[in-house]
Amino acid sequence: GFALLGMFVVHFHVKTIESGGIDDVVRTLIWRLVESKAHGTFALLFGAGFAIQLRRADERRTSFTAVYVRRLLVLALFGAGAHAFFGYNVLLGYAVWAVPLLVIRRWSTRALLVTAVVSAASVSLYRAASTWLPCDMAPECVRAAEETQRAESASRYEVLHAAESQHSYVVLLRARLEHMAWFYRQPFSVMPSVTLTLFIAGFLIVRHRIFEEPLAHRRLLAWMTLFGVASWWLANWVRETTFGLVRDQW
């Protein structure tokens, strides 16, 4: 319920416009305090839901692969429709990155944690490798490569935003389909990123019965809370400040 409420707020927030004053304060608070947490909770609970289905199938000792894949195909259809007709691309990625859970569900907790860390870092590692390595670590070259990538992405989204501001839904649908064709050809769209990471987190929470026995895991939950607060602070404040200073120095 909290996750869905947060998603409702976030989706309304996406459609707001900058107007100054209290409106910008509200926008900033939603962005800082709600948006990433709602997405994160939603993805974590999706992973937990998949884990519950797989665990129950194991308890019944029945083959679940066909049913699981069929459900993911239906989810993918909903996701493709949501992206094309409404402009939201989350569910299709969920359907894709739920497939590896079927393969890795019997891995040890340590192996799953390592996989989650690598998954979380995948996009950042790719971006660093695709810019720094070809440029031989030269800051000017890296900055030019990043500017080129940002310009291409910005131009694609400008076309989409222009279609959203006019009154023909047919034109908008065509623009969304063209944007989808570009979006799913980008390297980041085929990387697990935080989606698989949060799926694994939800999977492990179910495996270790943290939902069923929260009081027995108070120390772990406390550490998870501290890690979450520290990560939020680093991602939203320290990283932005640090990268801003680096860009200014360049």
Quick one: pLDDT at residue 6? 84
Q: CB under 8 Å to 16, separation ≥6 — which residues? A: 23, 27
pLDDT(96) > 70: yes
Position 241 pLDDT exceeds 60: no
Predicted TM-score of the model (pTM): 0.83
User: pLDDT tens, 120-176?
Assistant: 999 888 887 777 777 766 777 777 777 887 888 888 889 998 998 889 999 999 999
Residue 245 is predicted with a pLDDT of 42
In this prediction, residue 239 carries a pLDDT of: 61
The mean-pLDDT minimum among 68-77, 141-150, 197-206, 233-242 falls in: 233-242
Instruction: Read off the tokens for 162.
Output: 């222009």
> For position 48, what pLDDT does the model report?
93
C-alpha 185/C-alpha 188 separation (Å) is 9
Mind listing the pLDDT tens digit for each residue in 31-89? 778 877 888 888 999 889 988 988 888 888 888 888 899 999 999 999 999 999 988 88
Q: Which of these, 41, 42, 40, 64, lies nearest to 52 by C-alpha position? A: 64
- Say what the pLDDT of residue 250 is: 39
Cα dist. 20→26, 161, 213, 232 in Å?
10, 21, 46, 25
Mean pLDDT, rounded, for 191-202: 91
SS (H, E, C) the chain: CHHHHHHHHHHHHHCCCCCCCHHHHHHHHHHHHHHHHHHHHHHHHHHHHHHHHHHHHHHHCCCCHHHHHHHHHHHHHHHHHHHHHHCCCHHHHHHHHCHHHHHHCCCCHHHHHHHHHHHHHHHHHHHHHHHHCCCCCCHHHHHHHHHHHHHHHHHHHHHHHHHHHCCCHHHHHHHHHHHHHHHCCCHHHHCCHHHHHHHHHHHHHHHCCCCCCHHHHHHHHHHHHHHHHHHHHHHHHHHHHHHHHHHHHC
Dihedrals φ, ψ of 91, to 5°? -65, -35
Q: What is the mean pLDDT of residues 214-223?
A: 94
Indicate the burial class of 198 (C-beta count within 10 angstroms; 0-12, 13-18, 19 or more): buried
